[in-house]
Structure 1
Amino acid sequence: MSRRRVLVGLVFAALCLVALSYAGASAVDPPTESTPDTSSPPDPKLVQPADNVSKLYPYTSKRRSTSGRTLPINVVIHGDPGDVRTALTDRSDLGFEELPAEESEAGNETYQIDIEDSELDWNDASGSPRYIYIQDDGGGRWLRESYQLHEGNYMGERQHIRAYEDPDGEYTAIQIHREYFDFFQLRHNVVDIEDSGQMLEDEFLDQPFVDRVSREYFGTRGRWTDGWTVSIHLGALIPTALFGVFALGSVVSASTRRAVWSLTRNFGSWARTNWAGFVLAAGLVVTVVGTRAFALALENTFTETYPQVFAGVAYPILALGPPAVVAVLARRLSPLPAFGFAVFGLVAALAADTMWVGLGVVPVQVFLHRFGLALTLGVLALGVAREVSDDPEAIDEERGVLIAAGLLAWFGGLALPLFGMV
């Protein structure tokens, strides 16, 4: 009887934690947006990247209104927009000639410049549309991004550029950020913009086609910015050819410690008895990480297909795989080990996926949501698990309630992000 009371108390506490986690995840607001209340920003909020060029509102927006404000512009590249895009994507094939200053008026002798390859491989990217407000002598207007580029994978982690070409052809405003695809939310989450801007700045420093690199204060203060924007000025170069480095990031794993020789006989016996728990935890890791690997494989194989399609193909694996793994393997365990291995397995799986996409800091609402999902699998495992004296095939009424509660909480938790509640 006391054993039953322990299990009932554990289940009640787990379900309470699930409810609190989901409620907390829904209550915490994402920190990436603010909502000004005017559709066209007043002139004092506009910035002018250089003298005698059009002004801009230094934020992107989800819609043609400042009420959809999202991320700040963090890089401005001055020069012909065509040259800017070439400098980003086809730098190794730039064939530039530069007129020496002392001869620029007297003759047309030129010097050939060899351009070093970029360390990043920028490719055309897909993503949600974002708009920017630009004002010149003809008035103000909202413009959609001219193009998007990324370095990395849509279904994994990437650096993402949205570029906005000045209608007068004087500069290109860039919003660059690092993001990862969150399968539970079926969308990208931004994790950094300041280091991304610094990375692009470093790419242009000391390049022969760059006249100067500086910082301009746009006042865009927020979570990931101190208000300063990178300003890059291309030199007075005459392009003679425009043609179309893939740098693979290396993952350095932590060194493993030597095997522990002092394992006790009791632990060895416990591990042999609960071998299915280790398989269960490993199965959850393989399922979650395998979902991303599968989507990335599809993206890299079918390069002409919109990557959003692959998210739809892979998502059922993530939704159905973890509860299926628990249902098959937890029945071979006692209740408490089943609960522990299920929770630990999903936590380990999410940690592995987080490390894969390079996410250093997990937002609070994301952490609470994932913690709640882990607990739901623990509740499901309690329902599936056998009692020590039970037939492993037997499932009584109480365990059926636990299974139903675990499944309901799992699928309910998956639905929260899809309805914008996380």
Structure 2
Amino acid sequence: MRRSLVVAITLLAVAFLFVGGPSLLFSPSADDVAPEEEERPEPNIVSVEDSESGFWPYLNAREAHEKRSPLNVVVRGETDRVVHLLTAYGDGDWEETDHDHFDAEELVGLADNETDDELANGNESSAPSDETLNPVSPTDIPWSHADGTTRFAYLDPGPDEDAHWTTETLQLEDGEYYGYRYHVRVYESPNPDDRWLVMQTHSEHFDWFTLRHRVDGVEAAQSRLERDLMAIPGIDVQEDVQRIYLDNAGPSDADGWAAKVDLTAMATASVAIGLAARRTRRTDGASQRVVERADREVDDRLTDVDRERLAAASDRLEAGHLILVATIFAIVLGVRITGIALDRTVDALTAHMIAALLYPFIAVGLPVATYAIANGLERRLDAAIIASVSLAAAIWLDYSLLGVDVLPIDVIVQRALVVVALGLIAGGAARRATRDSRLNDMLAAGIVLWVLVLGGTLLGYL
């Protein structure tokens, strides 16, 4: 029992250091994802110039005035023509998808927390004035139709009709459903004589441990869509592209400003648009000479006691430890890669079918494989630490490959608990833990925690 407590405390420390610590340090929106709830004001309709109609600058999962998903792009032009440009042309191959989408979170951590902050009237004057945006050439990344979860927009046709809720006219996506994607919802003017569309765009990734899309933010996606709209031939960036203030800052990284692109002055209807942009990635490396010099410096600083400790740790290393590390990495990254590959290549499989096929590798495959491999290891603490650190490292590598650098608090907690549970399973499977009984307190605690965490997540409790 005493040894089990030592292992459990060690695993909690590992979970905090390798999951909670980095997340809290490098997730800038962790403190802002769940603003306190306040009384909801009456909706303020944003009017589009030269038209009587307007819109409330947020979307919602239900017909209620909750400040959830901020609208962030406005396009002036004939509705049919704008939609045609967005769906029919581009540098890439535009293909319609048949995704049967899961419910995506509206914004980071805001699915269960409503934000209704009334913004100060002085925010507009303190924010930058309308500014011209600089054009960026489009890339070859294709967009495609998306069948995402329905979100409602509140539109006002003008003085002769009542404002009402409506669903999207069109949805687009760029990226991988089971990886990282940019998602756009498009809503057309309720008045046929007016010529405008309003859009909400955000970036999101699929979370295999929760079977949900997690929205990472809106700013990067908004900039991406701005650049693509500015790349339309015939657009005068100085005259046709501006920033307008919609006073809808607050959720995630939304700053209250929207891009406004005017297509009404374009001379011809047949122009090409490439809706795509470069996802910036930074790669850092060091030369072999620098690495060798660093190795020499580390070696010079090691004392005889340090070398003895390293030698002892090396003697405790078993082939099973390396197999356990490789197996955990293979399952976590293999599910991600296989999901993307199946979504790309097998048209007969819907999104739900792919999830049903691959999720068991996470929910059952990880603990079963960990138990089977750890059962051949000698020491409980070694097996527990190897399994938990490997899972934490695999999770962070998965996020790194997706380009995700912001995590909400609920995801941090869930991942930490999963890391602890797998470590307990590995420690409880080691030979020294199973000398008296196959089912020991450490293994039982790990299995129960694993089931409760994943089951609670799927049922919406985590």
TM-score normalised by the shorter chain: which range applies?
A: 0.7 to 0.9
Q: Distance in 1 between matches of 2:439 and 2:184?
A: 51
Q: Which runs of 5+ in 2 are unaligned?
A: 21-29, 92-136
Superposition RMSD in Å: 3.4
Q: Distance in 1 between matches of 2:356 and 2:36?
A: 30
Note if contact 2:90-2:142 (Cα within 8 Å) is conserved in structure 1: no
Q: Distance in 1 between matches of 2:10 and 2:334?
A: 27
Q: Answer with 1 or 2: which has the greater Rg.
A: 1
Q: Does 1:314 align with 2:314?
A: no
Note if contact 2:231-2:273 (Cα within 8 Å) is conserved in structure 1: no
Note if contact 2:202-2:216 (Cα within 8 Å) is conserved in structure 1: yes
Aligned-residue offset at 1:276: 1.5
Out of 336, 339, 344, the position equivalent to 1:295 is 339
Paired residue secondary structure (2:255):
strand
Superposed CA deviations along residues 254-307 of structure 1, whole A, max 9, x for unmatched, are 426647575958646744632311221221111011111111111001246432
Note if contact 1:30-1:365 (Cα within 8 Å) is conserved in structure 2: no
- Residues 139 and 33 of structure 1: CA distance in aligned 2, closer, same or farther (over 3 Å): farther
Residue of structure 2 in register with 1:42 after alignment: 42
Aligned-residue offset at 1:410: 0.7
Q: Distance in 2 between matches of 1:135 and 1:190?
A: 28
Q: Distance in 2 between matches of 1:62 and 1:34?
A: 19
Residue of structure 2 in register with 1:124 after alignment: 145
Residue of structure 1 in register with 2:228 after alignment: 203
Paired residue secondary structure (2:46):
coil
Out of 255, 258, 279, the position equivalent to 2:285 is 255
Q: Which runs of 5+ in 1 are unaligned?
A: 23-27, 94-115
Residue of structure 2 in register with 1:332 after alignment: 376
Paired residue secondary structure (1:174):
strand
Q: Does 1:193 align with 2:218?
A: yes
Q: Distance in 1 between matches of 2:344 and 2:163?
A: 41
Deviating more after overlay: 293-302 vs 397-406: 397-406
- Residues 117 and 345 of structure 1: CA distance in aligned 2, closer, same or farther (over 3 Å): closer
Paired residue secondary structure (1:58):
strand
Superposed CA deviations along residues 322-346 of structure 1, whole A, max 9, x for unmatched, are 1122112212321111111011011
Note if contact 1:384-1:395 (Cα within 8 Å) is conserved in structure 2: no
Residue of structure 1 in register with 2:76 after alignment: 78
Aligned-residue offset at 1:236: 2.8
- Residues 12 and 290 of structure 1: CA distance in aligned 2, closer, same or farther (over 3 Å): closer
Note if contact 1:274-1:337 (Cα within 8 Å) is conserved in structure 2: no
Residue of structure 2 in register with 1:228 after alignment: 257
Q: Distance in 2 between matches of 1:409 and 1:168?
A: 55
Residue of structure 2 in register with 1:144 after alignment: 167
- The number of residue pairs the alignment matches comes to 383
- Residues 123 and 166 of structure 1: CA distance in aligned 2, closer, same or farther (over 3 Å): same
Residue of structure 1 in register with 2:121 after alignment: none
Paired residue secondary structure (1:219):
coil
**Higher strand proportion:** 1
- Residues 139 and 244 of structure 1: CA distance in aligned 2, closer, same or farther (over 3 Å): same
Superposed CA deviations along residues 81-129 of structure 1, whole A, max 9, x for unmatched, are 2222233343448xxxxxxxxxxxxxxxxxxxxxx86554210112111
Matches within 5 A, 1:77-116: 77-92=75-90
Superposed CA deviations along residues 7-61 of structure 1, whole A, max 9, x for unmatched, are 1322453688899999xxxxx99937887877xx735x11113232411111111
Residue of structure 1 in register with 2:64 after alignment: 65
Matches within 5 A, 1:177-188: 177-188=202-213
Paired residue secondary structure (1:285):
helix
Q: Distance in 2 between matches of 1:344 and 1:49?
A: 53
Structure 2 letter corresponding to 1:382? G
TM-score (norm 1): 0.80
Aligned-residue offset at 1:369: 1.1
Note if contact 1:161-1:177 (Cα within 8 Å) is conserved in structure 2: yes
Out of 164, 172, 188, the position equivalent to 1:165 is 188
Q: Distance in 2 between matches of 1:400 and 1:54?
A: 68
Note if contact 1:332-1:386 (Cα within 8 Å) is conserved in structure 2: yes
Q: Does 1:10 align with 2:6?
A: yes
Residue of structure 1 in register with 2:176 after alignment: 153
Structure 2 letter corresponding to 1:130? R
Paired residue secondary structure (2:404):
coil
Paired residue secondary structure (1:276):
helix
Note if contact 2:138-2:231 (Cα within 8 Å) is conserved in structure 1: no
Q: Distance in 2 between matches of 1:128 and 1:34?
A: 25
Q: Distance in 1 between matches of 2:417 and 2:335?
A: 20
Q: Does 1:374 align with 2:397?
A: no
Note if contact 2:156-2:163 (Cα within 8 Å) is conserved in structure 1: yes
Paired residue secondary structure (1:191):
strand
- Residues 18 and 265 of structure 1: CA distance in aligned 2, closer, same or farther (over 3 Å): closer
Aligned-residue offset at 1:380: 0.9
Aligned-residue offset at 1:139: 1.4
Q: Distance in 1 between matches of 2:371 and 2:319?
A: 16
Give the share of equivalent positions with the same residue, in percent.
28
Q: Distance in 1 between matches of 2:204 and 2:171?
A: 14
Deviating more after overlay: 283-292 vs 270-279: 270-279
TM-score (norm 2): 0.73
- Residues 357 and 16 of structure 1: CA distance in aligned 2, closer, same or farther (over 3 Å): closer
- Residues 268 and 286 of structure 1: CA distance in aligned 2, closer, same or farther (over 3 Å): farther
Q: Distance in 2 between matches of 1:383 and 1:412?
A: 18
Note if contact 2:180-2:204 (Cα within 8 Å) is conserved in structure 1: yes
